[in-house]
Amino acid sequence: MSTTTILKARWLLTMTPGSEVLNEHALVMKGERIAAVLPWAEAEAQFPDAELVEMGQHVLIPGLINGHTHSAMSLLRGVADDVPLMDWLNNHIWPLEKKWVSEDWTYQGSLLSAAEALRGGVTYLNDMYFFPTAMARAAVDSGIRAGVSINVIDFPTGYASGPDDYIAKGVAAYEQFKGEALLDWTSAPHAPYTVSDETFVKLRELSERLDIQMHCHIHETEDEVQGSLKQYGMRPLERLNRLGVLNSKMMAVHMVHLSEDEIAMLARQGVHLVHNPNSNLKLASGVAPITALEAAGVNTILGTDGAASNNRQDMFGEIRAAALLAKGTTQNSTTVSARTALEMATIRAAKAMGREADLGSLEVGKLADVVAVSLDALECRPVYHADAQLVYVAGREHVSDVWVGGRRVLKGRELTTLDQGALLDRVDAIVHAMKTER
């Protein structure tokens, strides 16, 4: 018999289209799904035997979805700052990965990111990295949802010898974990400058065969665009369009440097765009034209990128940055409203993942991925509009409790699924070895 729980909070934000902030409403969870959203008295009357959780001056929101990250790279947080992207990759990140990345290294880094995510109100990580079995195990062990990648790059690493080996190992991981409720999978070519036409076609066919989304870095820097013009005689998006990968299965990450024609094409073909404002700022890649994308009708969502480049995997920070950057770059204070920014991390993100039927909003029948954010702190008072308060005032430190599929994975800011001290001890040991042998 499934457990019924009533979460009773001062405010509730369902994120359903056109909905307003609900005052003095409760969310009822039965097992892993949402059974009702009702005023306090009605919820208690209809479910008299339910466990009652009094949340006080909290707002309940859907679990946040991080649309792009490299979870294991939390172990490289701060290893190389204040350098350009290609210098960062070629002279810092890739050499370290070649020497250190392994199944256990990836698992421990992914656990660290899962813990950080849950403490920041994130219930879903869309990951891109090697050793997908490690990410899958970390997600299951921590209780977070994950989009696990069949990640492919055209040159050899310590994980695989070449494109066919990456694909074979990724598919084997998919088969091993197929049916695990917390996991989705993506076909993930790294980027146009690291993946050949032949490999892109294979990954497109894999996406179609397995009915999974695609996940790729595209148009991140001006150098990438110019390099494609020199090598292929066309911009990366034109090349990818000719290869047939630009459609509603594609989650295109970064997308900073876009023409008007490219924006129109993205809208026509239903491509989802993953905006990474803080990583793009830190690496000096630029700012994605979110207002123009919004006007064209492109589904824009948010991601943190990895901790090696951001360096915070903080979705509250991305939500705020997305709203403020759009206003500042267009000199239009009405663009990317607080509501729009929240949608980018919830209901729109669920659509990009192909999970809008189950995730992204607090609706009856959907999975009970719920976050409680305290607005009781001095820094969060007074509260005139709880939704705007989440964007412009509150931070991840105000997240108190998190449920994933009705399971309480964060209680009073304490993780219930992981031993935080033991995790940090293992992380410290790995980092000590890396520093010693560097």
The pLDDT value given to residue 226: 97
List the CATH code of the domain at 4-62+366-405. 2.30.40.10
The string of DSSP letters for 41-82 reads HHHHHH-TTSEEEEEEEEEEEEPEEEEEE-GGGGGGTTSS-S
The pLDDT value given to residue 409: 98
Closest by CA position to 369, among listed 145, 117, 186, 53: 145
Going by pLDDT thresholds of 50, 70 and 90, the confidence category of residue 438 is low
Going by pLDDT thresholds of 50, 70 and 90, the confidence category of residue 381 is very high
Asked if the model's pLDDT at residue 437 lies above 80, the reply is no
The pLDDT value given to residue 84: 84
Q: Can you tell me the distance from the alpha carbon of 353 to that of 212, in angstroms, rounded to the nearest whole number? A: 9
Amino acid at 60: L
The pLDDT value given to residue 283: 92
The pLDDT value given to residue 273: 98
Average pLDDT over residues 165-188: 98
Q: Can you tell me the distance from the alpha carbon of 430 to that of 432, in angstroms, rounded to the nearest whole number? A: 5
Average pLDDT over residues 368-395: 97
Q: What is the pLDDT of residues 281-320, one digit of tens each?
A: 999 999 999 999 999 999 999 999 999 999 999 999 999 9
Asked if the model's pLDDT at residue 386 lies above 70, the reply is yes
Q: So where are the chain's domains?
A: 4-62+366-405, 64-352
Going by pLDDT thresholds of 50, 70 and 90, the confidence category of residue 394 is very high
The string of DSSP letters for 281-348 reads HHTT-----HHHHHHHT-EEEE----TTTS----HHHHHHHHHHHHHHHHT-TTSS-HHHHHHHTTHH
Contact in structure between 423 and 112 (CB atoms under 8 Å): yes
Asked if the model's pLDDT at residue 155 lies above 80, the reply is yes
**pTM for this predicted structure:** 0.97
Q: What is the percentage of the chain residues whose pLDDT exceeds 70?
A: 100
The pLDDT value given to residue 170: 98
Q: What is the pLDDT of residues 69-113, one digit of tens each?
A: 999 999 999 999 998 888 988 999 989 988 999 999 999 999 999
Question: Which CATH fold topology does 64-352 show?
Answer: TIM Barrel (3.20.20)
Asked if the model's pLDDT at residue 1 lies above 60, the reply is no
Question: Tokens at residue 194, please?
Answer: 């690291």
The pLDDT value given to residue 94: 87
The pLDDT value given to residue 244: 98
The pLDDT value given to residue 89: 85
